[in-house]
Amino acid sequence: MSDFIEVRTALPSQVDANKIAQYLVTERLAASAQVTGPIASTYWWKDEITNAEEWLVTAKTRQALYNEIEQAIRRLHSYEEPGIIAVPMAAGSTSYFAWIAKETSMETQQTISADKGQTKEQIIQAFDEAYERLIAAATRAAEQGSATQNSEWGPREILAHIAGWAAQATAILPQIIAGLPPQTYVSDHQHNAIDEAFNVAYITLIGDQSFEQVLAITHQSHQRFVQILKAQDESIFVPGNYVYERMKRVIDHHLEHVRLLTV
């Protein structure tokens, strides 16, 4: 039953805890989320022992969704360094686990069927639609004056991040299709550290460019990526193939940013 986990995080108020619980369930990142508290917490923070009243969120979900849940919690959490842990469900009711699996279905699983697969044209169309939704959400956020707060990304930084990864994929994807093995990692920690380093580099490169300038760069990167996809043979767009599975993750990633920008 290791495919199923509980994700836990503590927050300084019931309002903050309810907000995260509601978000995780609404976005089907968790089948359910319980808020308990207040609890008395004692911990080290910046070389001092802190005693605080906190509220605990416990979310029931699938292991495959952990990274997305962690990203969502980090963006919604008020702490500089939120405590986020995942605990495997070693055993439990088979019907309950089936319910968790059903209620944490992702939007892309509805768009791209893992059983039947989709044509290259349909996958690219789903990618374009997710991209357009992201651009619309980022533009609305920028017009409303959203900016970085508590080290979080604003719409400008999110688009820089998307543009950077699109450029990276445009360069590396043809090489992988030609036979270069995809990059592997010795651990999730190494994977996350490398991803974070790339993200910092992409955002640093945009400097003080305006949202409109970053938007133009993002459009260019997206169009180049789409052209690379269109140039590939139809036969590689099948379940299990690297390109197919990579595009499912890319679409999910775009839609996750849409959700975060509209919170």
Q: Are residues 189 and 225 in the same domain?
A: yes
What does the alpha-carbon distance between residue 79 and residue 93 come to, in Å, rounded to a whole number? Answer: 35
pLDDT at residue number 184: 74
Please write the tens of the pLDDT for every residue from 165-184: 999 999 988 888 888 887 77
Q: Model's pTM, two decimal places? A: 0.55
Domain count, the chain: 2
What average pLDDT does the segment 34-45 reach? Answer: 94
Please write the tens of the pLDDT for every residue from 131-168: 998 999 899 888 887 554 434 688 999 999 999 999 99
pLDDT at residue number 152: 67
Q: Over 50: is that where the pLDDT of 16 sits?
A: yes
Q: Over 50: is that where the pLDDT of 186 sits?
A: yes
Q: Are residues 133 and 166 in the same domain?
A: yes
Final residue belonging to a domain, choices 105, 137, 159: 105
What average pLDDT does the segment 86-103 reach? Answer: 87
Distance (Å) of CA 245 to CA 25, 176, 219, 238, 256: 25, 13, 23, 8, 17
pLDDT at residue number 180: 81
Final residue belonging to a domain, choices 105, 121, 143: 105
Q: Are residues 55 and 144 in the same domain?
A: no
Q: Are residues 100 and 191 in the same domain?
A: no
Q: For the packed helices 155-177 and 242-261, what is the interaxial angle rounded to 10 degrees?
A: 180
pLDDT at residue number 246: 86
Band the pLDDT of 194: cuts 50, 70, 90: confident
Q: Are residues 128 and 83 in the same domain?
A: no
Q: What CATH number corresponds to the domain at position 39?
A: 3.30.70.120
Band the pLDDT of 200: cuts 50, 70, 90: confident
Q: Are residues 91 and 35 in the same domain?
A: yes
What does the alpha-carbon distance between residue 95 and residue 107 come to, in Å, rounded to a whole number? Answer: 23
Alpha helices in the chain (DSSP H): 14-26, 66-76, 94-103, 107-111, 120-143, 155-177, 188-205, 211-230, 242-261
% of the chain residues with pLDDT over 70:
91
Final residue belonging to a domain, choices 71, 105, 139: 105
What average pLDDT does the segment 37-64 reach? Answer: 93
Q: Are residues 155 and 112 in the same domain?
A: yes
Band the pLDDT of 98: cuts 50, 70, 90: confident
pLDDT at residue number 57: 97
Instruction: Give the domain range for residue 219.
Output: 108-261
Band the pLDDT of 106: cuts 50, 70, 90: low
Q: Are residues 29 and 95 in the same domain?
A: yes
Instruction: Kindly state the DSSP code that residue 136 receives in the 8-state scheme.
Output: H
Q: Are residues 35 and 149 in the same domain?
A: no
Q: Are residues 171 and 248 in the same domain?
A: yes
pLDDT at residue number 158: 92
Q: Does residue 33 contact residue 58 with C-beta atoms inside 8 Å?
A: yes
pLDDT at residue number 114: 45
Residue 178 backbone phi and psi in degrees, to 5: -80, -5
Q: Are residues 173 and 255 in the same domain?
A: yes
pLDDT at residue number 203: 86
Q: Are residues 99 and 167 in the same domain?
A: no
Residues across the chain? 263
Band the pLDDT of 118: cuts 50, 70, 90: low
